[in-house]
Chain A
């Protein structure tokens, strides 16, 4: 038995029956991190000593009969979640010296459930990107390779370190955040399952803000069930987040076994876009066939404003980012570059601390919010955002869930799609609408490209109906039977 190859559900059962200990499970993962991280760069900060301490506490809890399904499970934490006493960078040099004095709600809940934190996972700077190339701490390498090629591929982004770590078996699961696809697209690029829950399901307290009306935390893991186990603990009402949903958290794991018999699944015509790769279209058709065989009713639907999702996003997200990132001024925390006066200090601090993509987005956001342009850009985008939500509301009057591809292509090479910012933005064309509408969406691995790279399908559900999303995702997972492993993996392929 290779400990790093276990699922969370599998390891949890072995821990509960005392066949393995949390200390040995964590040690195996710490060793794997030490062996593979220098190459993959999936973690910005590894915390092996903390992990060992937590593992000892986990073994004690299991012995005392107070274990949970996550007790002793080693996880990667996206370095956007504040962790008390552990450096938290958001992959930005401007936060290089930042050690949070407090803990995010999501990580506090995971800790309380007995989870073990292996380290802080790399990401695009401030979660702005779809490739992990914008990280101030270097790009992450995707553990997957094209057949017959050793070219380095991106793991997707922004939760690329989380995705690479789980795919390479140097974490059993990971936290991510998703503002426009940052959990789902990297999950698709690395052969993982990943869910962005409904906006408000997970507290945003202590998660470094990018675009507050879109940001949601969620898990990445190797199975749909493992995602359900993680999301169960990450979810729940929190007084410290004013947009946190005050409603009960259902049993996500139980929803996995529901099946899809009689469920109505919508297929949106507008997602058949120009430029979608034929093999992704073919995989989508396969997914439709699987669900039909399982007894689902397939229905064509229309989401007429789909193509405006991405341009709306690239106004709304930078606008919110320009406001959220105003706090990085070299005064209260983070790095400072001295200047001739206060304004000069602000300007030099921000010029040195932010990378190119973050600067671009702050400037676009500043512009679309500035006097004279607010109505033409920001207000207009918010109105079209309302139309995108209405499209989904209309669709969900007829269907229970929607099936689409997750991304328009498989993972691409490090250095590709860098010609201009918009080329990179197109990665998120299928994922952004769910963020704008605030609805849950999950990516599940469904097959391989002709080059041997994983491809994902996306399941979108109604507000607060993650259960149906899990039920449909699990049906796709069972039918796809995706068992291929990446080229770079703990213990060797």
Chain B
């Protein structure tokens, strides 16, 4: 399966990465090389095999549903590219 230029643009859109026209061909070659490399997985028979999602040899732990942190608005906002009072500021979303 090979990605065409429209697919590259669609993936970039999904990934929220702006891609200029001049970059599409290079990305197409590189991503197809990677997908070509992983094609070999098709030769493995995985019938009846449960997928392994994590590296931990344990079941997930539950914790008490309680608040352990808070009142640190200044710390959280300290790295904001833009803020208004105690809010993160972004370009206008609703006209």
A interface residues (Cβ-Cβ under 8 A, vs B): 97-99, 101-102, 199-200, 213-214, 216, 239, 242-243, 245-246, 305, 307-308, 311-312, 314-315, 322, 326, 329-336, 338-348, 350-351, 354, 359-360, 362-364, 366-367, 370, 377, 379-387, 389, 420-422, 425, 435-438, 463
Contacts and interface: CB of A to CB of B under 8 A. Distances in A.
A381 B37 CA distance: 13
Contacts, number: 172
A98 B82 CA distance: 13
Interface in B1-24: 3, 8, 11-12, 14-19
A245 B79 contact: no
Interface of B: 3, 8, 11-12, 14-19, 27, 29-31, 33-35, 37-38, 40-42, 44, 46, 49-58, 60-61, 63, 72, 75-76, 78-82, 88, 90-93
B48 to A, nearest CB: 9
A377 B45 CA distance: 14
A345 B81 CA distance: 12
Contact of B38 (A314, A338, A351): A314
Contact of B16 (A200, A350, A425): A350
Contact of B33 (A243, A387, A420): A420
A363 B27 contact: yes
A362 B33 CA distance: 15
B46 A387 contact: yes
B80 A99 contact: no
**9 closest pairs, A vs B, by CB?**
A438-B55, A199-B55, A382-B51, A333-B79, A336-B81, A347-B18, A386-B52, A351-B18, A101-B75
B51 A242 contact: no
Nearest to B52: A386
Nearest to B10: A370
9 contacts: A199-B54, A305-B44, A341-B93, A350-B15, A360-B34, A366-B11, A370-B11, A384-B49, A422-B34
A312 B51 CA distance: 12
Contacts of A341: 91-93
B79 A97 contact: yes
Nearest to B63: A239
Given A200-B57, A315-B38, A387 B81 contact: no
Contact of A345 (B12, B29, B34, B91): B91
Nearest to A97: B79
Contacts of B55: 199-200, 213-214, 216, 243, 435-438
Contacts of B31: 360, 363-364, 367
Contacts of B57: 199-200, 438, 463
A93 to B, nearest CB: 14
Contact of A101 (B17, B30, B72, B91): B72
A213 B81 contact: no
A438 B57 CA distance: 8
B52 A332 contact: no
Contacts of A344: 18
Most buried by B among A336, A341, A363: A363
B33 A311 contact: no
B88 to A, nearest CB: 5
A175 to B, nearest CB: 19
A24 B15 CA distance: 50
A375 to B, nearest CB: 10
Contact of B79 (A98, A315, A345): A98
A385 B52 CA distance: 6
